[in-house]
């Protein structure tokens, strides 16, 4: 296996390699190749690389998929996301709010399964959700790696911070209601750090860039739906289909929702629907390129080749030659 990390976080795989070595893994089984596009293209074009599994942005994932398959390689690419959480009127609001806080702002929103859009059904549900979320978002604490009381750390780069701030400003310009503004953060001793606090938008519509783009930061948008069917339309209308959740106490609603949404991973009262590794993981639409998921039996099939061996051990020639298929006796 060759691990080609993102050039934004090259060190962790090297540490993994050291741990594998300490555990006794033979040299050459786990290899780390750091680099930029030149390294990526080298792997995509190399004749000794039969299969490629990718996780990253949709733009790069599509390039990896198209380039790799053009070289007759097996490719799976897991890409961008804009995960929604539908909150039905009968949902346990305490659970829904806590779930949104953790799923929306955990890891500063920089994870592919983060919930970035809440879809409350009905005006009263939306008003109550915003009312409860606002003080909790305002109370979020950001801090450096060694602050054990911090809820979030910094975002990964200054470029990421700038991009998130620009999308927040764009959201205001587009007419979304900024309930909590997390851009004004200054930590003593870390004035040049890439820190952002949580931001919360209400009345976000599907035609806004704030809604369309994967922000990959601590920003939660409220996109109100008048009824269940509208909520499903909102979910299905987005180009990404990685994960989605619905919070409800109705089994009928949960089943209808699960059948109707075009999303790869669905959570019922589970905000981040990531299953155990022996189940499949992967999205749909432009969140995935390729016909297999990661993890589970499909992952084993992706990284292996199937062989079929037909054998018999006759004691002698019986009945002469056979001229029809199959000749298995």
Mean pLDDT of 251-270: 97
Domain ranges of the chain: 2-79+286-302, 83-268
Identify which of 166, 170, 87, 167 has the alpha carbon closest to the alpha carbon of residue 132: 87
Q: Is the pTM of this model over 0.75?
A: yes
The Cα–Cα gap between 93 and 252 comes to 19
327: pLDDT strictly greater than 90:
no
326 preceded by a cis bond (ω within 30 of 0):
yes
Predicted local confidence at residue 329, as pLDDT: 59
Mean pLDDT of 260-265: 96
Beta-bridge partners for 41: none
The Cα–Cα gap between 72 and 303 comes to 15
- List, in order, residues 6 or more apart from 303 with CB less than 8 Å away: 51, 53
- List, in order, residues 6 or more apart from 77 with CB less than 8 Å away: 53, 54, 55, 56, 61, 62, 64, 65, 288, 289, 290
Catalytic residue among 75, 96, 103, 112: 112
pLDDT in tens, 158-217: 999 999 999 999 999 999 999 999 998 989 899 999 999 999 999 999 999 999 999 999
Q: Is 79 among the catalytic positions?
A: no
More confident residue, 328 or 56: 56
The pLDDT-based confidence of 99 (bands split at 50, 70, 90) is: very high
- List, in order, residues 6 or more apart from 201 with CB less than 8 Å away: 171, 176, 177, 178, 179, 210, 219, 220, 221, 222
320: pLDDT strictly greater than 80:
no
Secondary structure of 1-62 as H, E, C letters: CEECCCCCCCHHHHHHHHHHHHHCCCCCCCEECCCCHHHHHHHHHCCCCCEEEEECCHHHHH
For 83-268, the fitting CATH number among 3.30.465.10, 3.40.50.2020, 3.30.70.100, 3.40.309.10 is 3.40.309.10
CATH number of this structure's domain 2-79+286-302: 3.40.605.10
């Amino acid at each position: 296996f060759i691990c080609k990390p993102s050039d934004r976080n090259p060190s962790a795989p090297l540490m993994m390699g050291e741990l594998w070595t300490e555990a006794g893994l033979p040299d050459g089984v786990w290899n780390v190749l750091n680099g930029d596009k030149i390294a990526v293209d080298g792997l995509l074009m190399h004749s000794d690389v039969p299969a490629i599994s990718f996780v990253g942005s949709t733009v790069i994932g599509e390039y990896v998929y198209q380039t790799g398959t053009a070289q007759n390689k097996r490719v799976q690419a897991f890409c961008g996301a804009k995960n929604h959480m539908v909150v039905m009127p009968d949902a346990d609001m305490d659970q829904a709010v806590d779930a949104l806080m953790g799923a929306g702002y955990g890891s500063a929103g920089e994870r592919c399964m983060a919930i970035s859009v809440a879809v409350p059904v009905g005006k009263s549900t939306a008003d109550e959700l915003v009312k409860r979320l606002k003080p909790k978002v305002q109370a979020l604490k950001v801090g450096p790696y060694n602050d054990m009381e911090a809820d979030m750390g910094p975002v990964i780069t200054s470029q990421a911070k700038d991009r998130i701030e620009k999308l927040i400003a764009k959201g205001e310009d587009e007419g979304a209601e900024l309930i909590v503004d997390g851009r004004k953060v200054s930590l003593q001793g870390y004035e040049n750090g890439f820190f952002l606090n949580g931001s919360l938008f209400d009345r976000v519509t599907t035609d806004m860039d704030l809604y369309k783009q994967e922000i990959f930061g601590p920003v939660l948008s409220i996109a109100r739906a008048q009824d269940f069917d509208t909520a499903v339309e909102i979910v299905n209308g987005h180009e990404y289909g990685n994960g989605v959740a619905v919070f409800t106490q109705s089994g009928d609603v949960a089943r209808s929702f699960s059948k109707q949404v075009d999303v790869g991973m669905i959570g019922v009262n589970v905000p981040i629907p990531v299953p155990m590794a022996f189940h499949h993981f992967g999205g749909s639409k432009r969140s995935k390129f390729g016909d297999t998921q990661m993890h589970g039996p499909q992952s084993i099939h992706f990284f292996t080749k199937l062989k079929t061996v037909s054998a018999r051990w006759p004691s002698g020639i019986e009945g002469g030659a056979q001229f029809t298929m199959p000749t298995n006796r």
